[in-house]
Chains A and B, each alone.
Chain A
Amino acid sequence: MNGSPSKLLLFAAGATVLVIAIAVFAPWVAPYDPLEQNVISRLKGPSAAHWLGTDQFGRDILSRVIHGLRASLGISAAAVAVALLIGGALGLIAAYYRGWTERIAMRAMDIIFAFPVMLLAIGIIAMLGPGSTPTAIAIAVVYSPIFARLLRGPALVIAESDYVMNARSIGASDLRIIARHILPNLASVVLVQTSLLLSTAILVEASLSFLGLGTQPPSPSLGTMLSEGRNFLRLSPWSAVFSGAAILLVAFALNLLGDVLRDTLDPRLRGE
C-alpha cells in the first residue's frame, strides 16, 4: 500500500456498512412495495417517481433492488455463518487434537472441497428443491471446507505455541484453551475471510437465483430480477442493468473490505 490504507479502509468499511444498513432497513428505505404492480407504467426508464424505472409488471425497480439486496445478503450471511461455525469448528478441532481426528475431519473436508462449488450447490438444490433455504444450505455446505482449511493452518501454529503449552501445563481444559487462547488469536483471520467469502457467497447466491434455483418469484431477489430483466433487454434494460449493478456493488464492497483488512491486519505485509 502506498501510505493511504486507512482512507481506503474507511471507504470500504463505509460502503459495506451502507449496503448492510440498506438491506437491514429495506422496508423503510424502499420507496414502494416491491410487489405492488402498476400496469399503466410498465417497463419505464428512470424518472422522478421511479428513480431506477419500472419492470414488466410496473413494479418499482429501486424498491425491488433494495429488497432483493436484503434477500441476497440475508441468505449469504446465514450460509457463511453456518459454514464458519461448522468448518471453523472442524478446522480448530483438527488442529488441536491432531492424529486420526485431524485426518478424518480434513479428509472429509477435502472430499467436499473436490467438487466444483457451483456444481455441488446445484446438486444439493436438485435434491432439496429450489428456494431460499436450500440455497443457503447449499452455500453453507460448499463453504464449510474452505473455512476448515483456512483456520486449521493458523490454529496449528497457535496450538503449538508456548502460551498454549503453558495453559495446558497448569491444567486448563481443552475447551478453555480453544475458546480462550486459540480462538481470540484467530479473530483477524476470521474477520478477513468472512468478509471475502461473504462477497463470493453473494455471487454464488445470485448465480443460483439467476438459474432459477434460488429465491422464487415473485419475491424480489437480485439474481431472479436479472434473469427476468434479460427477457426485456430490448424494450427496457433497466431491471437487468440495475439488479446486476447491485450484485456487483455488494460483492465489491465486501471484497474490498476483506482485502484492505488483510493488508492492514497482516503484520507480514504491513512492513513490506
Chain B
Amino acid sequence: MRLLRTRLIELVVVLFGISIITFLMIRLIPGDAVAIMLGANTEVTPERVAELRASLGLDKPILVQYVDWLAGAMTGDLGVSIWTRRPVIEEIGAHVWPTVQLTVFALVLGAGLALPLGVLMARLRGQGWDVVLQIGSVAGLTIPSFWLGIMMILALTVLAPGVQMLGYVPFSEDPLGNLARLLLPSIALALPILANLARLTRSAMLDALQQDYIRTARAKGVSERSILFKHALRNALIPFVTSVGIMAGYLLGGAIVIEQVFAIPGLGRLILGAIAERNYPLVQATILVVTVAFVLINFVVDLLYAIIDPRVRH
C-alpha cells in the first residue's frame, strides 16, 4: 500500500508536469502563434487574428488560460481543430486505431519472439556464437525501421507485383485485409524491439542461471529443460516486463514514421498533417493524449512488476 501511495503521488506530479509542458507549447512559439497559424491557410487580417485569439482563449492572463485548458482537458474537451472546427478529441479518435493496432502487433510480435530467442541465445553462450550474436543483435537494434519497410515494399514489388500492401482497412470491414496490410509494417517495427528484448532476456537468463537456487535445483536432479524454463525464465521475466512498458513509447514513435511508409492513416498522419497546416491545438492535444496514455501504461506495468516480484512489494 505504501508503494502504491508513493507511485500515485509520483504519477500525479509527472502528469501535472506533462500538462504544463504541453500547455506551454503553443505559448512558446516564437512570434505571434495566432498569425502563424492563420498564415498557413488564409490571409492574415487583424480581425481574424483577434477572433482566433479570443476563440483559443489566448487573450486571457496565462494562469487563467492554464486552468481553463486543464479543466477542459480533464473532461475530455481539448479544444477544436482550427480549420475544421471539429473537436480535436474526435479527430484523434478517428486516427487512433491504426496506430494502436500497429503498436500492439509489433509489441506482441517482438516480445513474443524475443523470449524463446533470448533463451536460445543464453544457451548458445560460450560456443563460439557470442560474437555473431552480438553483431546480429546490434544490427537488429540499429536497422532503421522505415528503411526496412521501404526495402520490404521494394522486394515485394519485384517478387509479387500486384499485391496490395499499402493503406489500411478497418478490421470490422475486412478482417483479413486488415491483418494482411498490417503484417509488413508490424514486422519492420518489431525488429529493433526483438533485438533489444532478446538481448535483455539473454543476459537476464545468464544472470538467473548463476544463482544459488539453480544450483540447488540441479543438485535435486531437476531436468535441464525445467531449470531453463521454469526456474530461470521466471526470474528473467522481471526486467523483461519493465522493458516492455518502455518499448511501448519507443514503438509509438516508430509507428508514426512507419505509417508514412505504408500510407496508414494513423496518429502519425494526423500529427504531421496538423503540423503542415499549423493546426497547433491538434498537435498539442495529440501529444498530450498519447503521452498521458503512455505514462498510464507504464504505471500499470510498474504495478504488475510489484505483483510478479514480491521483493518489490515490501
Contacts and interface: CB of A to CB of B under 8 A. Distances in A.
A80 to B, nearest CB: 15
A108 B17 contact: yes
Interface in B114-173: 126, 128, 130-131, 134-135, 138-139, 141-144, 146-147, 150-151, 153-154, 157
A119 B151 contact: no
B128 A2 contact: yes
Contacts of A207: 144, 146, 253-254, 257
A115 interface: yes
A210 B134 contact: no
A46 interface: no
B183 interface: no
A244 B142 contact: no
Nearest to A206: B144
Interface residues of B, number: 52
A255 interface: yes
A116 B257 contact: no
Given A2-B131, A115-B18, A127-B28, A255 B283 contact: no
Contacts of B29: 127
A49 B107 CA distance: 45
Interface residues of A, number: 47
Contact of A118 (B13, B18, B254, B274): B254
Interface string B255-290: 011001100000000011011000010011001001
Contacts of B69: none
Contacts of A21: none
A233 B144 contact: no
Nearest to A118: B253
A110 B253 CA distance: 18
21 contacts: A2-B126, A107-B17, A111-B13, A114-B291, A114-B294, A114-B295, A116-B252, A116-B290, A116-B294, A118-B257, A123-B287, A127-B29, A127-B30, A203-B142, A210-B260, A211-B257, A211-B272, A226-B147, A230-B261, A252-B138, A259-B138
Interface of A: 1-2, 4, 8, 107-108, 110-112, 114-120, 122-123, 125-128, 199, 203, 206-207, 210-213, 226, 230, 233-234, 237, 240-241, 244-245, 247-248, 251-252, 255-256, 259-260
The 10 A-B pairs at the shortest CB distance, nearest first, are namely A118-B253, A244-B147, A111-B17, A251-B142, A116-B249, A2-B130, A252-B142, A126-B275, A256-B138, A123-B287
